[in-house]
Amino acid sequence: MMMATSISNMVIPFSKTLQPSLRLVGNNLPSHETHRRTQSPIRVAARDNSLDLVVEHNYKPKLEDHLKRLPEAWRQIHGEGDWAGLLEPMDPLLRTELIRYGEMAQACYDAFDFDPFSKYCGSCRFTPGAFFPSLHMSHIGYNVTRYLYATANINLPNFFNKSRWPKMWSKHANWAGYVAVSDDATSRRLGRRDIAVAWRGTVTRLEWVADLKDFLKPISSNGVPCPDETVKVEAGFLDLYTDKEDNCGYCKYSAREQVLTEVKRLLEIYRYEEVSVTVTGHSLGSALAILSGYDIAETVTVMGSGVGRGGVLVSVVSFSGPRVGNLRFKERLEGLGVKVLRVVNVHDVVPKAPGVVFNERLPAAVMKVAEGLPWSYSHVGVELALDHKKSPFLNPNADAACAHNLEALLHLLDGYHGKGERFVLASGRDPALVNKGCDFLKDHYMIPPNWRQDENKGMIRSNDGRWMQPERPKFDDHSQDMHHHLRQLGLLASSDI
């Protein structure tokens, strides 16, 4: 007998405004867990202001049962076998891990101060110790150990944000991401100690693609080690990663030096444990993730090759990322054992740039001839292509920038089960999150666009009743042992020693 149950019993945690207009039709499905066990996809059909969801009656293990596989399967989940057999159909454990790292990348946006009327514009709104709790992400089980900063002197104006006030926290720096490490309980659940590096991107604005210099230069020209001068990357990405500003406390070390020294420091702390390094980022942050993943493998883990029982697996989980380098860069990166999984929306223009003409889609013989050109690019790793037109929740005719939105991509991951399979929300992510920073959901869900905002624009009332911007604690610029780790990595010039 078919019976109706309220949306509150679904695995999909919709906002309360949606509950009266949605219903689930199924066979005695009283709980989240029963819903999660359905193997056949949910057929979704929108009718006026209601949504019919028909659940068929095959069953699969609960998500918790899949998570029990992680301590033994994490190397496969992180690409040791290049994700063979895990994408088609989508492995439930892999989906969960991809969404988890995507949320760590999304945290870079949620914590960033974009407000030009704040003197802290361009910085992180929270201290490292309060980072995940402030974002209601304490469950993530990681502790932030270091913030990363990039110099705003680079010609990528859509990446950098500055305060309009003359008195500001820094004239040269922008917060670019963070390094975090799994705590003891999470490490036991993951089956290893995980060092995560998350890079901030450019939200949904696409103009930054036009800011690219769009020419390749040897990665070794900016001091990144590589014995092959034909290994080249896009000049703007490389400059952003390697430039520094001596007159700025935050950027007196480059983003590259900051991330390498912190990863090396953590590898030394956990040298007797099995360790992974997972780098993630969205948009421009994806380019930085791929560059730093390469650099960690080339520079750091060579020195620490004895770390862990099986060696240090360096993986990159890239979301909506552009091409970074040429074919030789792809070959060098993959030869170092760096595993890259690129999650993209097929309607997003950013992954199609740079290298619109000469890229990996051309025949190998043509690319071989063109590899010396300054605009011949190649994507790296394995691609997972998603299509927002498959989701019944999303407006297929929305603004082009919506196709680049990270929350939308995580929504698509949640519903993807394989090519040709129907769209099923599997892990319980709230579709309302899609409209947090864009206007992508269909109107009949009644979720306002761009709904996420800070209360009172960050203003607070002082003891005397006046409204003011609160002061924030000053973050430490850099740790005292930076020179020690830079020296061990060979990144100090003789004049600096």
Task: Please identify every residue annotated as catalytic.
Answer: 283, 348, 404
Q: Name the residue among 137, 123, 426, 409 with its Cα closest to residue 281.
A: 409
Phi, psi (deg, nearest 5) at residue 99: -65, -40
Phi, psi (deg, nearest 5) at residue 354: -70, -175
Grouping H, G, I as helix, E, B as strand and the rest as coil, residue 461 is strand
CA 249 to the chain's CA centroid: 27
Please list the alpha-helical segments (H only) found in 171-272. Answer: 184-190, 235-242, 255-269
Token pair listed for 110 = 């949620």
Query: Alpha-carbon distance 331 to 381, whole Å?
Result: 10
Q: Which amino acid is at 90?
A: M
Query: Alpha-carbon distance 194 to 180, whole Å?
Result: 8
Q: Taking phi first (over 0 means left), then psi (-120 to 50 degrees means alpha), and beta for anything else, what does residue 372 get? A: alpha
Query: Alpha-carbon distance 29 to 52, whole Å?
Result: 15
Radius of gyration of the chain from Cα atoms?
23
Neighbours of 116 (CB within 10 A): 12
Tell me the three-class secondary structure of 206-231, residue by residue.
CHHHHHCCCCEEEHHHHCCCCCCCCC
